[in-house]
Structure 1
Amino acid sequence: MFHRIRKKILFTILTGLFFVFIGVFSVHFQKARHQIPFETKSSEQLTPVLIKLVKRLKTTSNSANYIAEIKQIGLSTAKGKLLFQVQIDTVKPTLILSDFLWVYGDLEKVQGPLNPHQFDYKAYLEKLDVYQRMTVKNGHWVMQESNAFSILRWADQTRLQIQTALKKLDFTSDEFGIINALLLGQRTELSEELQEDYTKAGAIHILAISGLHIGILLLLFNTLFKPLLFFKQGAYIKTILLVLLLWAFALIAGLSSSVIRATTMFSFVAIAMIFKSQTAVLHSLISSLFVLLLYNPLFLFDVGFQLSYAAVFGIVWMQPLIYKIWKPKVWLFRKAWQLTTVSIAAQLAVLPISLYYFHQFPALFIVSNLLIVPCLGFILFVGLLVIALSLFNAVPIFLVDAYGFIIATMNAIIQWIASQDAFVIEEIPFSAPLLLVSYACLISAFLYISKPKFIKLVSLLLAILCFQSLYFLEKWQSSQQRKFVVFHQTAQTVLIHQQGTTATLFHNLDSLSLKHSSFLKSYRIGERITRQTAIDSIPSLISFANKKLLIVDSLGVYQLNGLEYPIVLLRQSPKINLERLILSVTPSLVIADGSNYTSSIEAWEKICKNFKLPFYNTRTQGAFVFYEDK
């Protein structure tokens, strides 16, 4: 028996090492870390770069953003990816994926975050193998013709054609934005307010084509094709049709990464449904996970990928266990309980990831999911019908009005739920270690529920103990923080004096900017700030620890008061004689924040260099952080 156990352990270890080897090899082989031969620099003669558009990113108010593959730089063949940004003027660029463009501009490195705990867009792009960016004005390129067929181009053209057809119908801007997101995977037409409402209501997943949408379509098509089971090979014919229809929808949705992943996952599920076994479905999910990670291991770090698989695994594994808690006899109650348990299982499975990335918990998620998800299948089905008819200009007015009313009603429900501020818990600190330990707690709990055993109970209690210990350790570490921060903010000055979990904020932001400031919110979450006092003026002198901060603004008026070796902060481009100031107080450091002109900063930096005095520029170096315990 001991020999058999030893062989089993050895087999498990070797299997694990084998998959680790596959992962390492796949990363090495697939990850396109191709170095660009050289960077183009600003000069009188810019080097032409040939690029191919491969992915459309979210459009901002200033630019349309794409991921592009570099094919050629000048006369040299090149490989790599870049962030291609087109400045938006009065007209948005009409570019199609797989377009080849000759562009003239500077290849620049993507800048990292300039403030503590700010979203790291550079790291996000690096996971897409993107290390440089290029910004051009709208129309400042030469299109290179290509006769080669591209399924990506065809999918993008089809989606644009559908969008054009839908815009001709009498939908409001919010209704069109929802239809565009639900059926075409594009959230560019959604207002910020509507997106925020869906987030607060715990229903933002509805607006991103994912496993939920593909899964609902699979159930709809599966029900539609049930009569095929009466034929001898009906099960196989049905499966083939299901997979084809799912991929047809993926084409309409533009073949984005999230859509491809979800469709691949449910294609495996459709095949597993032939065997009518929960175990087969679970194995199919694991198989699809393996195939997708083999194709691109970096999917593992994609938030959408993590949320999608966590939710589906939660529904497949956790939902049956939760459903057993209560078995209502009335059909209506049974169906309502089934839907509730699906929502609870999915939310439990994604909760740690949601807290880690988004730091908020919508307590009314069950209400929004109970009211919206049951209708989502009907909304998707009617939406596909509207799309099909719109391509032939044959959508009846009553159908447009009815569908618009359904979408407007859904938006109204979401807006009402989102308005219940007391039920939206925001700014929840949640670190990566807490994420891992919380999943250990969750998995241990459901393993114990499935088959209660003493060893499983011990594992669960240990996981909970680890979670509590880690939580209190992080809380204690935050309470020990003592620091002063000069943030980087264009045209503004923002300072924070932090003592433990309390902070004093000095700023010149308007009330709206202060309320919606993402970098300040990220800082509060990351540092576990529980109490913040905001002062909407910048004093000329601030004391912290054993240091003095002399602040010189645009008036250029300051009082020395016997100061020695202070830190000097220059803001709003003051017209001062910096040399005289340096000789007067002998500062230990000069800081220039984002409220200054670039020309002024460059002049000050030269003066400090002549005096061999440290100079700190937040525009290039990011926020200045002074730790009081050092």
Structure 2
Amino acid sequence: MNKQPLFILVLCFILGIVFQDQFSLNKTAIFIFAGICSAIFATLFFKSYLIHKSKSVLLGIMFFGIGIIIHCCNMVTSSETNFDSSKKTVVFKISKKLNSNEKYKNYECIAQVGKKYFSSIVRIPVERDQLDFDHYYKVEAFIGKLKPPQYDFQFDYSHYLKRKNIGYQLYVSNEILSVPRTDLDIQEKIKQKRLKVLQNIDNTDISAQSREFLKGIILADRTEIDSSVVQDFSRSGLVHFLAISGTHIMVIFGLFYFLFKLVLPLKFRRYTIIISLVFLWFFAAFIGFGNSVLRSCTMLTVYFIYVLLQRKPDVLHSMALSAFIILIFDTHQLFNIGFQLSFIAVLGIFWLNQPILKCLPKQDGYGKKLIFNTISISISAQLATLPLVLYYFHQFSFISILANFVIVPFSELIIMLSFGMAGLIALHLDFDIINMVYDFVIHGLLKSIHWFADFDFLFFENISMNLVEVFLLSIIIYVLRFVFLKFNFKNIMRFIILSLMFFIVRSGFNIKENQREEILVHQVGKDKVLSIKDGNRAYFWMANTSDREKVIKYVINPYSSSRRLKNIELKSLEGITKKIIYKSKIYDIN
């Protein structure tokens, strides 16, 4: 507590959030915790030997209680609104553009039916014109309540949206009427400006892939990007490069700092940092204060506050303070996968980077420092995030280490080029030669990433992982630091024992899961898929007309990783067959 007080207190705050999220304490319990926190806060002003000795424990309890209280406030939602299955006349305005699919363009919106207001997802046919923030829209639409998934292994999209207070979706097929708005607030005006820039990018002469890459890497808009490109980034372990992350924010801050340093004299160097941070936050506001953008900007700002106050920057203090600032405004951010991965990655770099560097050859030149630092940072971040990546995505690619080593050193150049390109397009400046150069560079980058993604034998998917295994694997990675620092018998044995414990526990879960036998009927759109699990093997029956890729993506892969399957067999239902025979038993799909 004496070495990292802020970090430990924020951990207590986070535990309070998790506790409230799991147990949902009632108002009486919340008032009790509020009273305890107030009493602890009051006692801290009294000088007493007993209080002084127990101060750390009391502060931990207080921050735990604050986490419970604040998350309780954030969990308060409006009363549910019920609609029948008939069409309703809906008036709505969009609040966010979401990813499109092959059928629909999707948006978050604030909708009104009669005198009832509610947040919803609106889905319009993909061939319709894009919606904007400048209009109110009126349409006849079906209102569907978001439902939990059919089975436990499926992603709970309704729970994810519930954290954003969204419980409905509108399906639009009729003509949409629009009326210009005159009540846009500042945030909506900024969103509309960003939308205009995105539309300007769509009207340029660069290729579609380059346009979508530019919108994703600078303006945080991946809503129209080709699914094959996203898959390449995912399989090569470079998906962090596609989304705006700490690297992007650092490069953009560096650009601002470089430009203002040229303008302002040396004695105003402190103000150069401040002005650069202000412009960075303007940029963050322009691209919509996305979760990853907000996290990166907050962490960078906290770091430079230490610099401006002439205090030695402390990574754990900076990270803890950034997390606390973000969570104090929105505790639901804690359950965002990006939030967890980004902070764990920084923690991993703090914990493992220097020990890994000591194991690498001596860095006695700028070139060697750049190469080996890139390798060590990449390995540190990937090792630290590995348990969560396996838990959430059930996949891992060994090629990601090499891909990051090759691609990441060029990331600064790509980001600066893309930032300049977006700036020119925003100013309606279009130069054919610059378009050609940008197209050439991005096509080369995407081909390189596709080449890495094609190493199928280094890519593993449907990897099973539960929270107990995540915890044990995290401890093993924690112990790795001591192995790297001091390669002796004690540290090696500690690592080996923990690894054996992990594999024993994992084998136990595998054996337990393989004893389960179950028969399920999965609904995929209008089609049904029958699955029969027998030990570590499962059989899936689907109609010939079923979308095979969709069934594999949304049913077979999640089911395989959840049930720890080793063998999967797909079978086709002939004609209008509704019954199948398996092991002398007849199963009716209906």
The answer, yes or no, to whether TM exceeds 0.5 is yes
Q: Is contact 1:56–1:66 with CA below 8 Å preserved after alignment? A: yes
Normalising by structure 2, report the TM-score.
Answer: 0.82
Evaluate the alpha carbon distance shift between residue 54 and residue 493 of structure 1 in structure 2; reply closer, same or farther with a 3 A threshold: closer
Equivalent residue number for residue 154 of structure 1: 189
Equivalent residue number for residue 475 of structure 1: 510
Q: Is contact 1:39–1:108 with CA below 8 Å preserved after alignment? A: no
Structure 2, unaligned runs of 5 or more: 1-47
C-alpha displacement of 1:484: 2.1
Equivalent residue number for residue 159 of structure 2: 123
- 1:492-507 aligned at under 5 Å gives the runs 492-507=527-542
Q: Does 1:293 align with 2:327?
A: yes
Evaluate the alpha carbon distance shift between residue 337 and residue 175 of structure 1 in structure 2; reply closer, same or farther with a 3 A threshold: same
Equivalent residue number for residue 413 of structure 2: 378
Q: Does 1:420 align with 2:428?
A: no
Matched to 1:40, the amino acid is F
Counterpart Cα distance in 1 of 2:384 and 2:260 = 31
Evaluate the alpha carbon distance shift between residue 73 and residue 356 of structure 1 in structure 2; reply closer, same or farther with a 3 A threshold: same
Equivalent residue number for residue 609 of structure 1: none
Equivalent residue number for residue 32 of structure 2: none
Equivalent residue number for residue 81 of structure 1: 119
Matched to 1:428, the amino acid is I
Equivalent residue number for residue 94 of structure 2: 53
The correspondence for 1:179, drawn from 210, 214, 219, is 214
C-alpha displacement of 1:43: 4.9
Deviations 1:371-403 (A, max 9, x none): 222122112212222222223333332211111
- 1:548-567 aligned at under 5 Å gives the runs 548-550=585-587
Compute the RMSD of aligned alpha carbons: 3.2
C-alpha displacement of 1:361: 0.9
Evaluate the alpha carbon distance shift between residue 102 and residue 494 of structure 1 in structure 2; reply closer, same or farther with a 3 A threshold: closer
Counterpart Cα distance in 2 of 1:138 and 1:20 = 51
Matched to 1:75, the amino acid is K
Matched to 1:65, the amino acid is N
Counterpart Cα distance in 2 of 1:334 and 1:93 = 48
- 1:506-525 aligned at under 5 Å gives the runs 506-509=541-544, 513=548, 517-518=552-553, 519-525=555-561
1:488 partner SS: strand
Counterpart Cα distance in 1 of 2:385 and 2:73 = 31
C-alpha displacement of 1:172: 0.9
Higher CA-based Rg? 1
Q: Is contact 1:210–1:259 with CA below 8 Å preserved after alignment? A: yes
- 1:129-208 aligned at under 5 Å gives the runs 129-137=165-173, 139-140=175-176, 143=179, 145-151=181-187, 153-208=188-243
Structure 1 stretch displaced more, 209-218 or 220-229: 220-229
Q: Does 1:35 align with 2:79?
A: yes
Matched to 1:407, the amino acid is I
Evaluate the alpha carbon distance shift between residue 521 and residue 104 of structure 1 in structure 2; reply closer, same or farther with a 3 A threshold: same
Equivalent residue number for residue 67 of structure 1: 108
Evaluate the alpha carbon distance shift between residue 258 and residue 244 of structure 1 in structure 2; reply closer, same or farther with a 3 A threshold: same
Evaluate the alpha carbon distance shift between residue 477 and residue 216 of structure 1 in structure 2; reply closer, same or farther with a 3 A threshold: farther
Evaluate the alpha carbon distance shift between residue 511 and residue 122 of structure 1 in structure 2; reply closer, same or farther with a 3 A threshold: closer
Higher helix fraction (1 or 2): 2
Equivalent residue number for residue 42 of structure 2: none
- 1:145-294 aligned at under 5 Å gives the runs 145-151=181-187, 153-222=188-257, 231-235=266-270, 237-274=271-308, 279-294=313-328
Counterpart Cα distance in 1 of 2:581 and 2:282 = 63
Q: Is contact 1:88–1:138 with CA below 8 Å preserved after alignment? A: no
Q: Is contact 1:88–1:137 with CA below 8 Å preserved after alignment? A: yes
1:472 partner SS: helix
Structure 1 stretch displaced more, 318-327 or 286-295: 318-327
Counterpart Cα distance in 1 of 2:490 and 2:312 = 26
Counterpart Cα distance in 1 of 2:483 and 2:160 = 37
Evaluate the alpha carbon distance shift between residue 450 and residue 225 of structure 1 in structure 2; reply closer, same or farther with a 3 A threshold: farther
2:314 partner SS: helix
Evaluate the alpha carbon distance shift between residue 323 and residue 488 of structure 1 in structure 2; reply closer, same or farther with a 3 A threshold: same
Counterpart Cα distance in 2 of 1:178 and 1:305 = 23
C-alpha displacement of 1:185: 0.9
Counterpart Cα distance in 2 of 1:420 and 1:59 = 28
Counterpart Cα distance in 2 of 1:319 and 1:138 = 57
Counterpart Cα distance in 2 of 1:10 and 1:299 = 31
The correspondence for 2:382, drawn from 347, 370, 387, is 347
Q: Is contact 1:113–1:121 with CA below 8 Å preserved after alignment? A: yes
Equivalent residue number for residue 112 of structure 1: 148
1:119 partner SS: coil
| Aligned residues with identical type, % of pairs | 25
Equivalent residue number for residue 532 of structure 1: 568
Deviations 1:208-240 (A, max 9, x none): 1122311332344445556789744522x1221
2:478 partner SS: helix
C-alpha displacement of 1:480: 1.0
Matched to 2:284, the amino acid is A
Evaluate the alpha carbon distance shift between residue 287 and residue 93 of structure 1 in structure 2; reply closer, same or farther with a 3 A threshold: same
Q: Is contact 2:97–2:106 with CA below 8 Å preserved after alignment? A: yes
Structure 1 stretch displaced more, 271-280 or 396-405: 271-280
Counterpart Cα distance in 2 of 1:221 and 1:229 = 12
C-alpha displacement of 1:339: 0.9
2:524 partner SS: coil
2:363 partner SS: coil
2:531 partner SS: strand
Evaluate the alpha carbon distance shift between residue 491 and residue 405 of structure 1 in structure 2; reply closer, same or farther with a 3 A threshold: same
C-alpha displacement of 1:260: 2.4
Counterpart Cα distance in 2 of 1:449 and 1:420 = 29
Q: Is contact 2:291–2:339 with CA below 8 Å preserved after alignment? A: no
Evaluate the alpha carbon distance shift between residue 509 and residue 463 of structure 1 in structure 2; reply closer, same or farther with a 3 A threshold: farther
Equivalent residue number for residue 605 of structure 1: none
2:123 partner SS: strand
C-alpha displacement of 1:299: 0.4
Q: Is contact 2:120–2:170 with CA below 8 Å preserved after alignment? A: yes
C-alpha displacement of 1:411: 0.5
Counterpart Cα distance in 2 of 1:64 and 1:32 = 30
Matched to 2:557, the amino acid is K
Structure 1, unaligned runs of 5 or more: 551-568, 571-591, 593-630
Evaluate the alpha carbon distance shift between residue 138 and residue 212 of structure 1 in structure 2; reply closer, same or farther with a 3 A threshold: farther
Evaluate the alpha carbon distance shift between residue 302 and residue 195 of structure 1 in structure 2; reply closer, same or farther with a 3 A threshold: same
Normalising by structure 1, report the TM-score.
Answer: 0.77
Q: Does 1:324 align with 2:362?
A: no
- 1:396-475 aligned at under 5 Å gives the runs 396-446=431-481, 463-464=498-499, 466-475=501-510
Equivalent residue number for residue 14 of structure 1: 58
Q: Is contact 1:107–1:134 with CA below 8 Å preserved after alignment? A: yes
1:487 partner SS: strand
